[in-house]
Amino acid sequence: MEFSCTARQGERHVVLTVSGDVDLAAHARFQAEAEPWAAAPHDLILDCSGVTFLDSMGLRVLVQLRRLVTDDGREFALRAPSESVRRVLELAGVESLFPVVAADSGVEPGAEPDPEPDPDPVS
């Protein structure tokens, strides 16, 4: 499956939605698209529910993103990681480094979800 990475910025966090194969062929693109968001002054939530494959190069990018965010005192979490992601994290022994939030929960544990934008801001 083709790799994609999209971002949605909320008031207190950025949600990066990653899907497809995160492997040797896609890791440089993943890193290039995700690092600017990891450097932004917001918490970072990585939605991995659509990741179909993750290899060691993709895992390397995850670890680097986590470090960039947490070294700056911000929060980093995975949202609803796919079975492929959970398996690699477990095999590598790093699952404890990555807090997980459910797909249907608020973005941050214990935080209120961002309000919906006003559909009619002119009125």
Residue 114 lies in a domain: no
Share of the chain above pLDDT 70, in %: 84
**Does 122 score more than 70 pLDDT?**
no
DSSP letters for 53-75: EE-HHHHHHHHHHHHHHHTTT--
Looking at residue 23, what is its pLDDT?
95
Q: Is residue 118 part of a domain?
A: no
Q: Is residue 60 part of a domain?
A: yes
With a cut of 90, say whether residue 120 has pLDDT above it: no
Please give the model's pTM, rounded to 2 decimal places.
0.81
What are the backbone dihedrals phi and psi of residue 62, each rounded to the nearest 5 degrees, phi first?
A: -60, -45
The arithmetic mean of pLDDT across residues 44-71, rounded, is 96
Q: How far apart are CA 30 and CA 2, in angstroms?
A: 12
Q: What does the pLDDT look like over 60-113, one tens digit per residue?
A: 999 999 999 999 999 999 999 999 999 999 999 999 999 999 876 554 433 444
Question: What CATH number is associated with residue 62?
Answer: 3.30.750.24
Which residue(s) pair with 40 in the sheet?
A: none
Q: What is the DSSP letter of 121?
A: T
- Tell me whether residue 107 is in a domain: no
The residue range of the domain holding 34 is 4-101
Higher pLDDT, 118 or 3: 3
Inside any domain, residue 120: no
Average per-residue pLDDT for the chain: 87
Q: Do the domain assignments include residue 87? A: yes
User: Residue 11: its pLDDT value, please?
Assistant: 86
Query: Across 1-119, where does the E strand assignment appear?
Result: 4-9, 13-22, 43-54, 76-79, 100-101
Which residue type does 79 have?
Answer: R
Domain tally, the chain: 1
Taking CA atoms, 29 is separated from 32, 35, 39, in Å, by 5, 10, 16
Res 36 pLDDT > 50: yes
Domain assignment present for residue 92? The answer is: yes
Q: Is residue 21 part of a domain?
A: yes
